[in-house]
């Protein structure tokens, strides 16, 4: 067990869609940290990730929970449902991360510890010390461009506005109108940051090593990229 998280209780919310090979590895990594709990939000994955999550709940009673979603699937919708549940729990910090091991569970204590520097802590690929391993040039360029684009349109100052590895003070999340969010895909992550900073939230960034998924398939479709291109404009037009 790592002592770095000893003072703060954290709950990690992880959305899953077809992550059967990755989820057990992620849980094993997270359970190394004392005072860390996990909520899996599964979107009725056709590959049986939900049943694997059920088995993990049994193995780690009281530390791992699962929410089985039905109906329309979506990353943003899953986060809204999962985060609303998380806010009700007695925890200090609520974290978000991907299930595909791109976000290393070993780096979580550093993110949690940084909540004394910000209301939200971003695990950032684009601050000194941050890096991306095994991404083809095309993916690197897309992510770089997406960040410049988002920062230009929204005036957000964080270096990595699209990172899905984050920790929030519970009260900050609890004060956010999650039900009124307009994004559903990956742009949901940008909207969270935008809403938090508009109401005075402080952002801190700590470097992470992001590793391309080894198992399972990416869900980054053309439709997702298109939605992400429109979303920053919808955000600023709502506020003007």
Summarize as ranges the residues that interact with ligand GTP (CB under 6 A).
15-17, 19, 41, 43, 73-75, 78, 98-100, 102, 213, 218-220
Distances (CA, A) of 22 to 44, 45, 49, 111, 216: 16, 13, 9, 21, 8
Tell me how far, at minimum, the Cβ of 2 lies from ligand GTP, in Å.
Answer: 23
197-226 residues in contact with Mg ion (CB under 5 A) are: 213
Select from 3-11, 92-100, 181-189, 224-232 the region that touches Mg ion (CB under 5 A). 92-100
Tell me how far, at minimum, the Cβ of 146 lies from ligand GTP, in Å.
Answer: 10
As a whole number of Å, the end-to-end CA separation of the chain is 48
Q: Which is nearer to ligand GTP, 74 or 201 (CB)?
A: 74
Binding-site partner at residue 220 among Mg ion, ligand GTP, none, CB < 5 to 8 Å by type:
ligand GTP
Tell me if 75 sits within 8 A of 185, measured CB to CB.
yes
> Phi/psi of residue 211, each to 5°?
-115, 130
DSSP-based helix, strand, coil % in the chain, nearest 5: 45, 20, 40
> Quick one: which of 49, 102, 143, 187 contacts Mg ion (CB under 5 A)?
102
Distances (CA, A) of 88 to 62, 83, 153, 170, 174: 15, 9, 33, 9, 9
Q: CA–CA separation, 141 vs 225, rounded Å?
A: 13
Select from 28-36, 91-99, 121-129, 189-197 the region that touches Mg ion (CB under 5 A). 91-99
Tell me how far, at minimum, the Cβ of 71 lies from ligand GTP, in Å.
Answer: 11
Tell me how far, at minimum, the Cβ of 105 lies from ligand GTP, in Å.
Answer: 13
Applying CB under 5 A, the residues found at the interface with Mg ion are 98, 100, 102, 213
């Amino acid at each position: 067990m790592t002592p770095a998280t000893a003072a703060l209780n954290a709950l990690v919310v992880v959305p899953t869609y077809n992550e059967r090979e990755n989820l057990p590895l992620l849980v094993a990594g997270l359970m190394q940290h004392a005072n860390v709990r996990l909520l899996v939000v599964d979107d009725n994955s056709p590959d049986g990730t939900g049943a694997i999550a059920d088995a993990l709940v049994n193995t780690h009673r009281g530390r791992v929970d699962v929410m089985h979603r039905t109906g329309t699937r979506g990353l943003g919708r899953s986060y809204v449902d999962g985060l609303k549940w998380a806010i009700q729990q007695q925890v200090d910090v609520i974290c978000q991360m991907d299930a595909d091991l791109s976000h290393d569970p070993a780096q979580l204590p550093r993110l949690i510890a940084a909540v004394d520097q910000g209301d939200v802590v971003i695990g950032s690929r684009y601050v000194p010390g941050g890096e991306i391993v095994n991404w083809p040039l095309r993916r690197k360029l897309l992510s770089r461009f997406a960040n410049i684009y988002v920062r230009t349109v929204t005036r957000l100052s964080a270096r990595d506005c699209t990172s899905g590895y984050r920790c929030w003070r519970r009260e900050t999340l609890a004060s956010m109108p999650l039900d009124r969010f307009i994004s559903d895909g990956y742009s949901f992550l940008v909207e969270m940051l935008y809403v938090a900073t508009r109401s005075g939230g402080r952002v801190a960034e700590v470097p992470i090593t992001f590793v391309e998924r080894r198992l399972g398939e990416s869900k980054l479709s053309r439709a997702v990229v298109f939605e992400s291109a429109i979303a920053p404009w919808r955000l600023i037009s709502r506020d003007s």
